[in-house]
Amino acid sequence: MGSAALALAGAIALPGTAEAANILTNPGLESGSLSPWSCTGNLGSVVSSPVHGGSKALAGAVSSSDIARCGQTVSVQPNTTYTLSGWVRGSYVYLGVDGGASTWTSSPTAYSRLSVSFTTGASQTSATVYVHGWYAQGTYYADDIALDGPGGGGGGSDTQAPSTPTGLTSTGKTSSSVSLSWGAATDNVGVTAYDVYSGSSRVLSVSGTSATVSGLSPSTGYTFSVRARDAAGNVSGASNAVSVTTNAGSGGTSFKQAAPYLYEGWGDPPSVSTVMSATGIKWFTMAFMLDGGGCNPMWDSTRPLTGGVDQTVINQVRSAGGDVVPSFGGWQGSKLGANCSSASALAAALQKVIDAYALKAIDMDIENTDEFENEAVQARILTALKTVKANNPGLRTIVTFGTSTTGPTYYGNRLIEQAKSIGADIDVFTIMPFDFGGGSDMYGNTVNATEGLKAKLKSTFGWDDATAYAHIGISGMNGLSDQQENTTPAIWTQIRDWANSHHIARLAYWAVNRDRSCPGGGVVSNCSGISQSTWQFTSITAGFTG
C-alpha cells in the first residue's frame, strides 16, 4: 500500500437544521467505556492519551491476524444522505460503513480527520459504522467520531430539542488550545452530548459541560459556541458566542540569528578566531552531524561527537563570546533522520548532541530523497524535534530545506503542514534560495521565494505577516552556486537589508569556507568563484539584526 494524505484541515460544517446531528452514542469515548462500540478480538480499549478532544479516545490494538475493527450500529432513515467523520491516528487507519463507502489515512504521529458520505437504501433502517487499523501496523487511535444526519427512530416519538446551553466562557488558553465551560442544558428525555463549534464548524463533541479545543494556531482569534443534543438527534439552539485569541507561540520575535555555515571536514577550514575578529560574527552553523552507525551522532559520520577538531572549534567560538548551532543532515551522507528507526530513537540521538554541548539551538537540514522527499522521515524528524524541545526548555528548533523561486515546493509545503499537524512548534523555517533556477535575479527571486514561504506559514498556522516573518530564515550560497547563479556581495547586502527590514529570524549562507576570492575559479570548496574581499560575506551577514 502507498501512503495517502487524506487529513482535512478543519471540521465539517453541519447543516443548520435540528435533524442534522451526530446520531452515534459515546462518539468520543468520554463515558470511559466502549459501549456501544464493539471491537473484534477484544482488541479495543478506552485510553486517556493520546486524545484529540476531551479526555478519552478509542485504541485498537492491531495484531498480525486481527485489524481491531470497532463498530457501532445505529438506526437510520431510508434514502437519506449521512456524513461519517472522525479523527484518527496510526498507520493505515480506516473509517467506513458496512456495505458502503470507506476512506483511510496513514498518520502515525498526529490525529488526522477522515470524512466520507453515503446514502442509505430505499428500505434501509440501520447502518453499522466502523474504524479499524491494518495487520501488524501497531495500535491505532480514534476520537470524536460522528455520523451526521437524522436519527432513524432510536428516540421514539421525541421531537423536542434540548434547551440552549448558557453562560459559555473561556476558562483558560495557551498558544494552541482554548478551554471552555458552560451551563448545562435540559431535555424532556435527557441531554446526551454537547457539540462545540468554532464559527460554523463543529470541532468537538463531549458529554460534560467543559471542553478543551486543541490544535489551534498562536496569536489567532477564534469564536466558539455550544449546542446540546439528545438521543433522538434533536439539537438545541446555539449558546452565546465567546471570542478568544490564543497566546503567542514560543518561537516569537525575540529569536534572531546570523549564523553562516562552517564545515570542518572540507574546504580548508579557516581559523574561527580570525574570522570572528575580522567580521564581528558571533554564531556559526556547524556542519554536519550525521550517523556514525546505529543511530549514533558523529561529525561527518567519522569524527567523534566530542574530543575532536569540531569540539576544539566550538570551544574557540565560545571563548570569543560566540556560539554554534549544529546542523544535522545536509544533501548527502548517512543521516540520522533517515537511519534512526523511530522518532524516539532520533530524539535520543539529538539529545546526545544537545547534552554534549549544552546547546541553545539545533538545525535540521532536510534535503534529498532520503529525508526531504520522504514524508514518513519528515514526520519522524518533526516529532523528534517536538520531543527534544519539550525536554529542553528554551531550545530553539530550525528546519532548513530547498525552495522554488516562488516559495516552498510540494515537499516543502508538506513539511510545513506536518509541522502544524504534529504540533512540532518549529521556531524557524529556513529556505535555501539557490540551485533553484534563480538565474540573473538572485535578489528578486530570493525575496519572491521568501514571500511565498510567508504566505504558506500564514495560511497553515493562521499567523499575521509579522509573526510569519519572525519564523522565517534565509540560507543562501555565496558567489557561484552549482547552477552558476551568482550571489555577489552587493546582492547579499540587498538580501540582508531586506531581511532586516522584514524582521525575519535567521540569516545564514553556505559557507564560510568559501568566503574567499577566486574569480574564474568555478564552484569549489574553499572560495566563492568570484571577486570579493576575504570574509566579505561573513561581514555582511554579521550586520543582520532582524
Distance of alpha carbon 341 from alpha carbon 269, whole angstroms = 33
Does the pTM surpass 0.75? The reply is: no
Q: What is the pLDDT of residue 198?
A: 86
* CA–CA–CA angle 48, 251, 341 (5° rounding): 55
Q: Taking a C-beta distance cutoff of 8 angstroms, is the pair 270, 232 a contact?
A: no
Distance of alpha carbon 114 from alpha carbon 6, whole angstroms = 7
Q: Look up residue 497 and give its three cell numbers.
A: 537589508
Distance of alpha carbon 95 from alpha carbon 114, whole angstroms = 7
Q: Look up residue 460 and give its three cell numbers.
A: 497553515
Distance of alpha carbon 166 from alpha carbon 193, whole angstroms = 15
Question: Which residues belong to the active site?
Answer: 367
Nearest-CA neighbor of 239 among 184, 190, 193? 184
Query: In angstroms, what is the C-alpha Rg of the chain?
Result: 27
Q: What is the pLDDT of residue 478?
A: 97
Q: What is the pLDDT of residue 518?
A: 96
Q: What is the pLDDT of residue 215?
A: 67
Residue ranges of the chain with per-residue pLDDT less than 50: 1-19, 154-156, 250-253
Q: What is the pLDDT of residue 183?
A: 95
pLDDT in tens, 75-122: 888 888 999 999 999 989 999 999 888 999 888 888 888 999 999 988
Distance of alpha carbon 32 from alpha carbon 9, whole angstroms = 28
From residue 141, give the alpha-carbon distance in Å to each of 46, 84, 172, 455, 485: 9, 16, 27, 33, 49
Q: What is the pLDDT of residue 539?
A: 97
Enter the DSSP assignment of 146. Answer: E
Q: What is the pLDDT of residue 418?
A: 92
Q: What is the pLDDT of residue 8?
A: 26
Q: Taking a C-beta distance cutoff of 8 angstroms, is the pair 258, 282 a contact?
A: yes
Q: What is the pLDDT of residue 10?
A: 31
Measured between its terminal Cα atoms, the distance across the chain in Å is: 46
Nearest-CA neighbor of 408 among 185, 230, 399, 164? 399
